[in-house]
Chain A
C-alpha cells in the first residue's frame, strides 16, 4: 500500500479535482493507522507506520486545498494525529511537521490552527537543533498564511539569526524574507548582506542576491539606501548573479517614476556613488558591476555636469580600459559610455587621446569603436542625433528585416554573388549532397540555437557595409553584426534614436515606476529610525538583551499593526515604493503616434528588386499567380455579395449565388475560439423608415466574423458607416451610405485613393445612381494587401450633387491582422512546411505571471490574430496562419522560464517580422490588462 500511495500522490498532484471522492477512503485508512489497527511489526519505535502516515497527510493536504467541503472530512483525523503524536521521538516530530503543513494547506479551521501553532512553538523552542530547523521551516510556510505567528516567536527568531550554525541562519533569513515589508526592509536586507559576506557557496549567493534585489526594489525606503544596497548586491553577486538583476536595475533607472524629481535624485545619487567608487585606484569590481556603472555614467553623468567635469569622468572610465581585469565585453560598455559623454561635450583631449590609442589596438572591437567615435566626433550634428540625451527609453522600431540593405544585396546578386541561404537550408543541401539520411529528430533542430541570436541575418551574408556608411541605420545593423563579434553586452544598446537599455525594454517597456512619497509608505509605529538601530546592533554584551529586543521591534514592525502585510508569494499589497505603471499604452497601442507608424511602414517595405534569394523569387511568382486566381474569384464574389439587398438585385443578377460568401463562421473558425460577433438581426429593409438608416449586414455576410459598423464620416445629408467582414479569402469592406436628407440624392460617387499597400479588387470607385431620401445604400469592396505593412490608412472620398458638388473625406485604417486567416494543417504538414521556408525570425517575449501557461498565451494570440493552433506538446506549441490570398506563416512557440520564445517562418520575407510585431503587441496588451487588474485589487 505504501508504494501505491506514491502513485496516488502523483496523480492527485496533477489533478486534485478528479480524486476528491477518494478522500473518505484516505481518511479512514489514516484513522486506522493512527488508531493502531495495523499489526505490531509495522511500528517504528512504537509509532504505527509513520512514513505511511506522512504520505497520507500529504495526500490529504493536496485534496483539501481550497476546498472547504473536502477539508471538513479530515478535520477529525488531523486532530487525532496531532494528539496521538505526543511521544517525544524524532519520528513523531516528522509526523507533526507534516500534520501542521496539512492543516495550514487545507481550508482553515481556527481550532486546529491554534493547536498547530502551539506545535510549531514547541519545535522552535526545542533545544534540539534538528527540531529547531524543522520548526523554522514550518514557520516559514505557516507565516504566509498567518504573519502574526512570527510575532509570537520573534525572540526565538532573533536568536536563530545569530545561531552559530549557518544552516539555521539561512533558514531564518528565508523566513524573514517572507515577512519583509516597507518598515523592516533595511534591517532584513542588512542581515542578508551580512550572511552573504560570509558565505562562499555559489548557489547561496545567486539565491540570496536575487532576493535582496527583489526586496530592495520593492520596499526601498530611500534612494540612497536603494543605490547602496544595489551596489552591495553587484559587488557580492558579481558575475554569478542572474542577469535580470542588473537589467532590471538599469531599466528602473532609465524609465524612472512618475515623479521627475525623484528620478533625477535617484540618478544623481547613482552617478555620484559610482564616481566615488571609481575614484579608488586599486579596487576591483565584478564585470557586471562595471557595466552597470559605465552605462549609468554614460547615460546620466550630464546631471552632475554643473559640479563635475565630464573630463574627469572620462578619464576615470579611460583608466578602466587599461586595467587587465576588465574583459573585452565590459570594455565595449565603457567605450559606449565614453561615446555618449563625448556627444554632449565639445572636443576633448581625453577623447582624442583615446581615439589615437585604440585606433591601432589589436582588439578589433575596440579598434572599431575608436573609429566610430572618431567619425562621430567629426560630425557633431549626427552624433547629437544619434545619441540624444536621456532618450534611452524612447521607443524605436528596429528594421529587423534589414531592408535598407536590399539594394546592396541586389547589387551583389547582379554581380553574380551566390544568394544567401539560411543555415538550415545549407545544412540540408549539404546532407543531400552527402546522400546521408537526416537522423536528427525534428524537435532537436527546433531548439538548437534558440537563444544564440535573436535574428538570423537573412539578408546580408557579410557585414561589408558596416563601417562605410555612418548613418542612423548602420548602427542598427551593427547591432546584429556584433553578435558575431561576441559583444553581447553591447549589441542591444544602440538604436536608431539613441540608446536602448535592453531589448526587452522595447517590448516590455510598459513597466515604469512610480514613486510613492516616502512619508506615505511608512507606518508610524517604528520606535526609532531603523538604520540607527542597525548600527546600534553592534553589541556590547551587557546590553545584549535590550539590543535584541530592539532588533525584534525593527524586524517585526508592521506585522502587528496590520494583518495585510505584503507577503511574498501572496497577494502583494500596497506598501511598494516603486510601483510599476504602464507606459507603453502611450506609444505602442496608439494609432495616433504617426512617427512610429511611419517608421514601421518604412521598414517593412521590401524593395521589389531586392529579392535576396532564388527561393523567394519562386515564391513571389507563385504569389502573383495565386493572387490572380483569387482576384477572379473575388470579382464574382463581389457581385454575389450584394445580392441580398433588393436594390442591387437587378444589377447583380438573380443567379449570382456563389457558395463562397456563404461559408458560415462555423466552417471557417470552427475550433478557433475567434471572437465572432453575434450577427446582428437582419432588419428587413423598410424604405423611408428610421430603422433603415441603421447599417446592418446582410445575412450572408453577418454569418462571417465582422466588426461592428463604425461611422467614418457624416454631414447633414449623408453618413458613411463601415463594417469590416473577414471572410475566408478576403477582407470585405462594406460601406453604408445613408441619406439623412428628405430628398433623393443622385449620382453619389465613392472613390478610394490609390494606395500602394492595398488593392481594391473591384476598382477604386463605386457609383450610386440614386439614394432615396431617408434610406441606406451599401457597397462592398474586397481589399487585398499588395505590400506588407503593419497598419496603413486607406483614404477615400464621397462626392454627391445636391445644390452644388459636395465632397466628404474619410479614411479607413487597415492592419495586417485584417488579412491574416487561420491555416488548418496537421502537425506533419507543419513539419514539412517548416523546413521548406527560408525566412525566419526569432524573438523572446516576456510572459506575465497571470498568463502562466502556454495554452493561455496561444489562446490570446489565436483570438486576437486569428491564428490556428496546430498542436501543443508540453511547453512547445505550433501555430499556423496565412496572409491572404495564400502566403503561409508558421509560428513555433516555446515557453521557458517566464519567456515565450517565438519563432516564425514564412516564404515571404517581411511577413514574419510584421506578424511578430503583432504578436508582441497583443502579448503586451494582455500583460497590461493583467497588470491593471492587479492594481485594481491592490488599490484599496
Chain B
C-alpha cells in the first residue's frame, strides 16, 4: 500500500503532498524534511529504495524535483518506481513538457491527475488517456 506521495524540490520545499493515511499536520512537515534529507544524501549510483523507519521510500529525481513515495512492505518497489515515471509521463502529456512551475501553478490539476491514479493508497488507473479524460472534460467546460 502507498502511504504518501510527495514532490519536493532540492531546496526542500514541498510542492505536492498527498497522504493516504492520517498523519498529523505538524508531523508532516517533520516527516517531509527527514525524507528529503534522506533522499538528497544519496548519490546517483545508489539504490532508489530506502528503508525508513518501518516503511520504505521509493524516490526518483527529475531535474531539481524529487518524487518520493512511501510504501509499506507489501508493495512492489519496482512497480512503484515505474508508477512515478508513469505519473510524470501523464503530467508531461497534459502540460506538454512539464516543469516545476507548471506544478506550482496548476496544483489542482496535478491533484486531480494523482487522484485518478492512486486511490486510498492503491494504484487504480495507469492508462494515460483514461487518466486525463475527466480533466480534459473539465477544461472544455471552462473554455465554453
Contacts and interface: CB of A to CB of B under 8 A. Distances in A.
A134 B51 CA distance: 13
Contacts of B47: 129-130, 132-133, 165, 167-168
What is the size category of the interface that chain B forms with chain A? 20 to 34
A421 B136 CA distance: 69
A203 B54 contact: yes
A49 B126 contact: yes
Nearest to A129: B47
A203 B50 CA distance: 13
Contacts of B123: 2, 51, 55
A655 B139 CA distance: 94
B115 to A, nearest CB: 12
Contacts of A338: none
A130 B46 CA distance: 8
Given A6-B122, A167-B49, A134 B78 contact: yes
Interface string B26-69: 00000000000000000001111111011000000000000000
B46 A93 contact: no
B128 interface: yes
B126 A51 contact: yes
B82 interface: yes
Contacts, number: 79
Given A129-B48, A130-B81, 14 more contacts: A2-B126, A3-B119, A44-B82, A51-B83, A93-B78, A97-B78, A98-B79, A130-B47, A130-B48, A130-B49, A165-B46, A167-B49, A167-B51, A170-B51
B53 A94 contact: no
B86 interface: yes
Given A2-B125, A42-B127, A49-B126, A134 B50 contact: no
A41 B78 contact: no
Given A167-B47, A203-B54, A204-B51, A41 B127 contact: yes
B72 to A, nearest CB: 14
Contacts of A137: 77
Contacts of A130: 47-49, 77-78, 81
B49 A90 contact: no
25 contacts: A2-B124, A3-B124, A3-B125, A6-B122, A41-B130, A44-B82, A50-B79, A50-B126, A51-B79, A54-B79, A90-B78, A93-B78, A94-B76, A94-B78, A94-B81, A98-B79, A130-B48, A130-B77, A133-B77, A134-B78, A137-B77, A164-B46, A165-B46, A168-B47, A203-B53
Contacts of A55: 123
Nearest to A90: B82
B99 interface: no
Q: Is the interface of B mostly helix, strand, loop or mixed?
A: mixed
Nearest to B122: A6
Interface of B: 45-51, 53-54, 76-79, 81-83, 85-86, 119, 122-130
Interface of A: 2-3, 6, 41-42, 44, 49-52, 54-55, 90-91, 93-94, 97-98, 129-130, 132-134, 137, 164-165, 167-168, 170, 203-204
Nearest to A96: B78
Nearest to B48: A130
Contacts of B53: 203
B54 A94 contact: no
A98 B129 contact: no
B89 to A, nearest CB: 8
Given A129-B45, A129-B46, A44 B86 contact: yes
Contacts of B51: 167, 170, 204
A55 B75 CA distance: 10
A133 B124 contact: no
Nearest to A133: B47
A98 B128 CA distance: 23
A135 to B, nearest CB: 11
Contacts of A165: 46-47
Per CB-CB distance, the 7 closest pairs between chain A and chain B, nearest first, are A94-B78, A94-B79, A3-B124, A6-B122, A91-B82, A165-B46, A167-B47
B128 A41 contact: yes
Contacts of A52: 126
B46 to A, nearest CB: 5
A130 B122 CA distance: 22
B125 to A, nearest CB: 6
B112 to A, nearest CB: 16
B128 to A, nearest CB: 7
B76 A97 contact: yes
A191 to B, nearest CB: 17
A50 to B, nearest CB: 7
Contacts of B124: 2-3, 6
Given A2-B126, A6-B124, A130-B48, A50 B82 contact: yes
A105 to B, nearest CB: 13
A41 B90 CA distance: 12
Given A41-B127, A41-B129, A42-B127, A167 B50 contact: yes
A366 to B, nearest CB: 38
Nearest to A202: B53
A895 B91 CA distance: 47
A495 B52 CA distance: 43
A308 B48 CA distance: 56
Contact of B81 (A2, A3, A90, A98): A90
Nearest to B58: A130
Contact of A3 (B48, B50, B122): B122
B69 to A, nearest CB: 14
Interface-central residue, B46, B76, B78, by most chain A CB under 10 Å: B78
A456 B46 CA distance: 55
Contacts of B45: 129
Contacts of B127: 41-42, 49
A293 to B, nearest CB: 31
